[in-house]
Structure 1
Amino acid sequence: MSRLDVTESFQGIKFPGHMHTEESLNFATDFKFEETDTLIVTYPKSGTTWMQEILTLVLSKGDPTIAQSQPNWARAPWLEQYYCPEVLKASSGPRIITTHLPYHLLAPALQHCKAKVIYVARNVKDVCVSYYHFHKMANFLPDPGTFPEFLKNFLKGDVHYGSWFDHVNGWTGHAKNFQNFFYITYEEMFQDLRGSLQKVSHFLQCTLCKEELNLAEKHCSFNSMKENAMVNYTLIPKEIIDHSKGKFMRKGKVGDWKNMFTEEQSGLVDEVYFSQMADSSLLFQWDQPGETLVPLININNSASGEILLLT
């Protein structure tokens, strides 16, 4: 399947036609989840690959064999992409499934479902920069134009997968609708990978001993993933992802947006952010540790099913 120049529109949202069809998107929205499923939910460029690797290593007790021998799209397939049914048909045991779909498209399928949902969010400025660079190397995404042009479209939600604001607000705003919901940010994983691994393992009820935790931490570090062909997308042909134009695993930092944004652009994003997120209890970290920070709030699912706000 190529369709590199095709944009698939589905319920008002644009998707890359290379991996998405009307049939595959309908499959996703009508999907029958099992209570043993774990669903990773992200807006693009928010830590998706990282969480796929974390789950793989937690569930394998730190053993890197699967992480280093199976591509991430085979062990944690995107629900809305056309190949997903075949991958899931061949899988056995508890399934890891990934999605970029907004809440309203998957809400009916997840209603009254006991599947575990992990939502990973990243601050909007770093997402925008990372997404822009990804557009430049991913031939299945439209030409982003200049960064100011891309930023304008991004803030309007006129990009593939829709609005970052709608995506984050949709999923986190309905967290109480899920029996098993876990929220974490890219920034928290960056600052405290070991602690994040422990939180994820606790949520999955898959406790790791010290040695297993050490192995998991080692193999899902950014540097390790950057060299792992199973997650750095170097297996993908150049006509689909052109690595001569950039790297999929680019920097993996927090606050890199400051190397791209002008002061005026940053102020514009702040204005849109505080308007769009006015009703949200989520606050994001914009910079590296030690710089000016915004307090970080985590939503985690308790044993009783209540949503806890932890500062």
Structure 2
Amino acid sequence: MDSLRPELIEFHGVFMSHYFTDNWENVQNFKARPDDILIATYPKAGTTWVSYILDLLYFGQTNPERQSSIPIYDRVPFLEIFVPSIDAGKDLADRLQTSPRLIKTHFPVQFVPKSFWEQNCRIVYVARNAKDNMVSYFHFDRMNNVQPEPGDWSNYFHRFMEGKTVFGSWYDHVSGWWEKKQSYSNLHYMFYEDLIEDTGREIDKLCNFLGMSPSAEEVQRVAGSVQFDNMKKNSMANYSTLPVMDFKISPFMRKGKVGDWKNHFTVAQNKEFDEDYKRKMKDPSLQFRTEI
């Protein structure tokens, strides 16, 4: 599997890997439908969590066998992925029989295929505080053979601040989508920390955005099913069936906590990061919590 490790490349001003650009024209020409729901995140910000919530809300009762027979990455295809040994994300999305189709992307806002905007599709964006996101992405890059080698923590720490990770700068990603939310009303912007704090409350907000009205019991059932420990043990949700990931190095779902960054950042790194953060995060309306 090591031979799959790609180099980091610069692509239209964003650091990427060829596994997410090789199918570029086909992905850009993707034909979205008006009822499609796009789940957008920076990597390791709660993508699988929200994908699973949406899948349960829409199909948990009408098609329950999906939960035990189809991995989440097939139920909610990763639009831009193009790895020789697995199905292309666009092809999986095109073949989806569900209505709505649930599709995920890690694209920065400017890379999203134009048909999603033209069809006025609903988009759910999930953002996670930069420090925990960095730690989670570091461990993900260690175990995922289709990501560039992360190097050691100190090296990765600086690369993350410089935006030299696949899908580019965390700062640009969360800020670009936040800015889009101001002009595109069909975008629901969620925070990972809020989901941790009160999953049921955030599911209620999500349902309100989607025009759904599940019973309180149904919301609690979904909230229980998507608790981190339940998902981590669920082979249809935890990516253990995907051969490009090396679970001997780290699980795909590692801790799922707010504040794990404190176990990785040195005092000097924390100071350096906070100064960098102040320089780059200009919009005071976009606020993150690094502990709850």
Q: Same fold (TM over 0.5)?
A: yes
Counterpart code for 1:34: R
Aligned residue in 2 for 1:11: 12
Q: Which residue of 2 aligns with 1:264?
A: 268
The residue number in structure 1 matching 2:185 is 179
Superimposed CA distance per residue, residues 127-176 of structure 1 (whole angstroms, 9 cap, x where no aligned partner): 00011111111122222122110010110001111000010111111213
Q: Which runs of 5+ in 1 are unaligned?
A: 290-311
Q: Which residue of 2 aligns with 1:54?
A: 53
Q: Which structure 2 segments of 5+ residues have no match?
A: 83-87
Amino acid at match of 1:81: I
* 1:202-241 map, 5 Å: 202-237=208-243, 240-241=244-245
Mapping 1:71-110, distance limit 5 Å: 71-82=71-82, 83-92=88-97, 93-106=99-112, 108-110=114-116
- The equivalent of 1:251 in structure 2 is 255
Residue 62 to residue 222, structure 1, CA distance change in 2 (3 Å): farther
Contact 2:53–2:222 (8 Å) recurs in 1: yes
Equivalents in 1 of 2:247, 2:2: separation in Å? 18
Distance change (3 Å), C-alpha of 1:33 and 1:46 = same
More RCO (CA 8 Å, sep 6+): 2
The letter for the 2-side match of 1:142 is P
**For residue 207 of structure 2, what is the amino acid of its counterpart?**
S
Amino acid paired to 1:99: T
Alpha-carbon distance in structure 1 between the residues aligned to 2:25 and 2:113: 13
| Sequence identity percentage | 36
Which residue identity lines up with residue 224 of structure 1 in the other structure? N
Distance 1:112 1:280, change over 3 A: farther
Residue aligning to 2:203: 197
Quick one: distance in 2 between partners of 1:198 and 1:187? 16
- The alpha carbon displacement at 1:270 in A equals 1.0
Say if 1:35 and 1:113, in contact at 8 Å, map to a contact too: yes
Provide the rounded CA distance (Å) in 1 between the counterparts of 2:286 and 2:68.
Answer: 35
The one of 275, 289, 299 equivalent to 2:279 is 275
Other structure's SS at 1:286 match: coil
CA distance in 2, matches of 1:74, 1:222: 20
Equivalent-residue separation in structure 1 for 2:93 and 2:242 (angstroms): 21
Q: Which residue of 2 aligns with 1:300?
A: none
* TM-score, scaled to structure 1: 0.85
Please report the TM-score for the alignment, with normalisation by the length of structure 2. 0.91
CA distance in 1, matches of 2:115, 2:144: 30
Q: Are the aligned partners of 1:119 and 1:184 in contact in 2 as well (CA < 8 Å)? A: yes
- Higher percent of residues as helix: 2
Q: Counterpart of 1:41 in 2: which secondary structure?
A: strand
State the match for 1:65 in structure 2.
Answer: 65
Asked whether the 8 Å contact 1:113–1:178 carries over to 2, the reply is no
Aligned AA for 1:88?
A
Q: Report if the CA contact (8 A) 1:61-1:208 is conserved.
A: no
Q: Which letter does structure 2 place at the counterpart of 1:15?
A: M
d(CA) in 1 for partners of 2:272 and 2:67?
A: 40
How far apart, in 1, do the equivalents of 2:190 and 2:246 lie? Answer: 31
Aligned residue pairs: how many? 284
Partner in structure 2 of residue 34 of structure 1? 33
Residue 21 (structure 1) shift: 4.2
